[in-house]
Amino acid sequence: MRIGFIGLGNMGAPMAANLAAAGHQVAGFDTAAPTPQGVTAASSAAEAVREADVVITMLPNGQILQAVAAQIIPAMRAGAVLCDCSTVDVDSARAVAVMARDAGLGALDAPVSGGTGGAQAGTLTFMVGGDAGDFATVQPLFEVMGQKAVHCGDSGAGQAAKICNNMILGVTMIATCEAFALADKLGLDRQKMFDVVSTSSGYSWSMNAYCPAPGVGPVSPADRDYAPGFASELMLKDLNLSQMAAESVGADTPMGALARQHYEDFVEREDGRGRDFSAMLPRLSQRQR
């Protein structure tokens, strides 16, 4: 396919490079980041999308997404599909979908899970909202960039799924780090703790696949001095989105709200910015009641 790719940062660049390596014609644009190998650099966002069958965006927030959409939708050819892979608020996703459909375009919101490692390895999971026909059009690209794509429903459903998933992730990571910190103070060896919990009722992705304790379990950011695979400030962003969504529909999410407060303190008032979200463990280990 002919693909326009807007947003070539830590996530977008490897995603675009994987599409190019798979034989697709990819034109990319970013206001600051370099163009990855195999991707043709466009002089503007409008130029990148002009001949594209599918346009993929990977942008920081909903406000920027809506601004970029307003620039590129008039330049896209009729019948093309705009597929946004950013993590944004549900209202922004739905607003962009309306803009695209009004212009005769397809539209998908398709946020991802898997972090920069998944983007590089082509093992992302896509949570997709939008028309089933548009999903079928983009499915071959999801298969290049990821290992799974789930059609979650109408426009906004992909963002809803991502927000709910990452609220669980934020809460369970804090619980996992609290448990390790408590085990330390009780004199329990971290490896023994992992051996028990990873095969018992405390099993979770945070423990088993992304263990926050260095030298325990599979290799994770904890083994790289918490260099981010998924930065704490991005977790804070997602938890903020979860609480905005909860407030908008009157959902009671006390654990999500508390996790948001912990990450806000860590990022805004402590040393969490630029560290992996699993760096909650040394934070909690150093604290006293």
What are the catalytic residues? Answer: 162
Q: Which residues contact 249 (CB under 8 A, 6 or more apart)?
A: none
DSSP state letters, 223-243: GGTT--SSBHHHHHHHHHHHH
What Cα–Cα distance (Å) separates residue 182 from each residue in 226, 285, 288?
Answer: 20, 8, 11
First to last CA, the chain: 57
Beta-bridge partners for 27: 4, 40
Report the C-alpha gap between 164 and 90 in whole angstroms. Answer: 12
Strands (E), the chain: 2-6, 25-29, 40-41, 54-57, 81-84, 106-109, 112-113, 124-130, 146-153
DSSP state letters, 135-173: HHHHHHHHHHHEEEEEEEESTTHHHHHHHHHHHHHHHHH
Closest to 88 measured CA to CA, from 66, 121, 118, 72: 66
Question: If DSSP codes are grouped into helix, strand and coil, which group holds residue 181?
Answer: helix
